[in-house]
Amino acid sequence: MCGIAAIFAYRPDAADVERAELVAIREAMRARGPDGEGAWIAADGRVGLAHRRLAIIDLSEDAAQPMDFANGRYRITYNGEIYNFRALREGLESQGRVFTTESDTEVLLHLYDALGADMVHELRGMYAFALWDEAKQGLLLARDPFGIKPLYYADDGKTLRVASQVKALLGGGRVDGAADAAGHVGFFLFGYVPEPHTLYRAVRALPAGHTLWVDAAGTRRMDRYFDVAAAFAESADGPPADLRAALSDSVRHHLVADVPVGVFLSAGLDSATIVGLASECHGANLDTMTLGFEEFRGGPRDETPLAEEVARTYGTRHRTEWVAGAAFRDHLADVFAAMDQPTIDGVNVYFVAKAAASLGLKVAMSGLGGDELFGGYDSFRQIPALVGALGRLPGLRALGRGVRVVSAPVAKRLTSPKLAGLLEYGTTYGDAYLLRRGLFMPWELADVLEPDMAREGWRALQPLVRLEDCASRVSGPRRKVAALEMAWYMRNQLLRDADWAGMAHSLEIRVPFVDARLFRSLAPHVGRPGGPDKGAMARTPATPLPGAVLARPKSGFSIPVRDWLQGGAGNGRGERGLRGWARRVYREATAAGP
């Protein structure tokens, strides 16, 4: 895993690339790549690439970046891992191509030379890269199908700036820090900033599954090559995939590395299944880590005993890291500093990544994505039930709006504010998803943001339109929910949190359940009667999971943030719970400024 940066002065009247700015952007991402650094600026000063390296594949200096091809015909700065790079390399070598390194980076350069931007269709992995084409005088940006790896850009109409982090772009000193109202509204609606927005109007996320081409001739083209809803819609009926073979194949590919790979292990089925399958591929001495909370020790929410039982079952080298409120308070400033965009989650990943790094690991696998793929959330039951009950009643949404206006003040004081919107937001999948996943409700935005910003941000974000568009392109109730969970919660919160929290400790987090090839093999049957579920997933390891883990009801992974805030890490204004934590996160994010 790495940090990448690029600056392209594509207009003739743009100022040349300044090395100081390029290096400042790069060095703002030092934690992403402590193993090496590199920078290149073209002789004419029109383009520059930079890189911070975390060496995972081909640890030699030969694999350093930015890497060039054919005496500078192409150059690339790249973040991520291409798990099928060896197979791709063999195919390219059969065409007579010669390689000088053992890296996946060099494979990307050869593949671009052979296929151009269509190369992305051949890649299996998580990636974000900026590739300079000297002959075409253009820069190609690409991001992996699910958006596991981040990529942000700022374009002022003359110069394109690119980096792995929003804060890095701002750290270069040339990006406008004016607020993006949609990003601010999105945070309070969902607890994360939905892409392509950020908190800043000038900075955008390259959407997952997209490429962007910009050249000196003025061409600017963004192409989508993967979309979750479209992939669901396009998946044809067929015989069920061999679930064990498909999952084992993904886990095996995610173990590709020239350094040891560990696994984050909880008491849940997802991570336990990963450990079971990884132990078959990896053999003995697989490293596993569990995060325990002192506030939960010995109680029903303590996951450590079952996690340790899983570790014994598969003979892993296991470590439990205990965290208490005092440690949370001690590291709170570091958490906020590492949090590239505000989020209400990710604290647990921060601490378990810290534990993994203390073991000397550079790579760890996570069970992230299992609930989305195999229908593990309550939303897979609740949202179809709500829409099924209310969606067939004509005029209910309009009636519900009137009920909400009258009842919202009372509902907010006596129970959840969501109750007031049950009729208004219970008739379509997009609305019901916002009701289920929303942090603050739309009618509360003016209480947490300046009213004009709230109105402007709501209009620009169009959350209900975008949510319904995602759901409407997929058939079947549970499949609709799966598409929404993958394209919104998983992409914008879980994957982004895994990136910033892991990178804070120079740790690469891999997610075998979030794999485009695995998804395509299972998509025809996901969410359909008889399709794969969490139980089938958990039965795939050859050595069965412990019975206590298989029998344990899903409880969700919780962290005692509320207890920690009440213990003294709060904001001094009496705010408690997740909504209070969101206000604290927002204040920290906006107080830091650009």
Rounded Cα distance, 344 and 279, in Å: 33
Read off the pLDDT of residues 381-414 as tens digits, 9 standing for 90 and up: 999 999 999 988 888 888 878 888 878 777 676 6
Does residue 567 register a pLDDT over 60? no
> Is residue 363 located within the same domain as residue 473?
no
39 and 172 in a common domain: yes
Tokens coding 351: 């601490």
**pLDDT (tens digit per residue) in 295-347:** 889 888 888 999 999 999 999 999 998 988 888 888 999 999 999 999 999 98
* 195 shares its domain with 242: no
Q: For 418, which DSSP code?
A: G
Q: Is 421 in contact with 443 (CB distance < 8 Å)? A: yes
Residues 409 and 447 in one domain: yes
| pLDDT of 570 above 80 | no
Q: How far is CA 266 from CA 303, 338, 353, 472, in A?
A: 6, 24, 13, 35
User: Based on the structure, what is the number of domains in the chain?
Assistant: 3
DSSP 64: -
Pair (23, 56) in one structural domain: yes
Q: Long-range contacts of range 572-577, CB-CB < 8 Å, 24 or more positions apart?
A: none
Domain carrying residue 383: 379-483
How far apart CA 486 and CA 527 sit, in angstroms, is 13
Residue 541: cis peptide before it, omega within 30 degrees of 0: no
Whole-number pLDDT of residue 555: 63
Q: Whose CA is closest to 349, among 502, 164, 121, 244? A: 502
The answer to whether residues 366 and 383 belong to one domain is no
Claim to verify: residue 405 and residue 332 sit in the same structural domain: no
pLDDT tier at 569 (50, 70, 90 boundaries)?
A: very low
Residue 223: partners with Cβ closer than 8 Å, 6 or more residues away: 117, 210, 211, 212, 213
Residue 278 lies in a domain: yes
Counting other chains too, the contacts that 252-257 makes at CB distance below 8 Å and 24 or more residues apart are: 252/281, 253/83, 253/84, 253/124, 253/512, 253/515, 254/83, 254/365, 254/510, 254/511, 254/512, 254/515, 255/281, 255/282, 255/365, 256/57, 256/81, 256/83, 256/85, 256/86, 257/56, 257/57, 257/81, 257/363
| Residue that finishes a domain, picked among 459, 483, 507 | 483
**pLDDT at position 586 over 70:** yes
Same domain, 123 and 222: yes
Cα–Cα dist 513/494, whole Å = 13
Instruction: Return the CATH number at 536.
Output: 3.40.50.620
Burial 553-576, CB ≥16 within 10 A → b, else e? eeeebebbbbbbbeeebbeeeeee
Rounded-to-integer distance, Cα 316 and Cα 395, Å: 58
Whether 299 and 275 share a structural domain: yes
Q: Report the pLDDT value the prediction gives residue 398, as an integer from 0 to 100.
A: 84
Query: What's residue 562's pLDDT?
Result: 58
* Residue of 2, 56, 151, 182 with catalytic role: 2
Peptide bond into 66 cis (omega under 30): yes
Domain boundary among 226, 248, 281: 226
Do residues 498 and 366 lie in contact, with contact meaning Cβ atoms separated by under 8 Å? yes
pTM over 0.85: yes
Instruction: Kindly calculate the radius of gyration of the chain based on its CA atoms and give it in whole angstroms.
Output: 24
Task: Check if the beta carbon of residue 79 is closer than 8 Å to that of residue 65.
Answer: no
**Structural domain includes residue 568:** yes
Give the other-Cβ count within 10 Å of 69's Cβ. 19
Q: Which residues contact 444 (CB under 8 A, 6 or more apart)?
A: 188, 412, 417
Model confidence pLDDT, tens digit, residues 440-492: 999 999 999 999 999 999 999 999 999 999 999 999 999 999 999 999 999 99
Asked if 472 and 326 sit in the same domain, the reply is no
Whether 576 and 295 have beta carbons less than 8 Å apart is answered as no
Q: Are residues 183 and 44 in the same domain?
A: yes
Three-state secondary structure call for residue 290: strand
- 420 and 370 within one domain: no
Domain assignment present for residue 148? The answer is yes
CATH of residue 175's domain is 3.60.20.10
The reply to whether 514 falls in a domain is yes
Round to whole Å and give the CA distance between 150 and 164. 6
- Of 458, 483, 508, the one marking the end of a domain is 483
Q: How confident is the model at residue 236 (pLDDT cuts 50, 70, 90)?
A: confident
Tokens at 224, concatenated: 């989508």
Strand 152-155 and strand 508-510: pairing? Answer: unpaired
Concerning whether 470 is annotated as a catalytic residue, the answer is: no
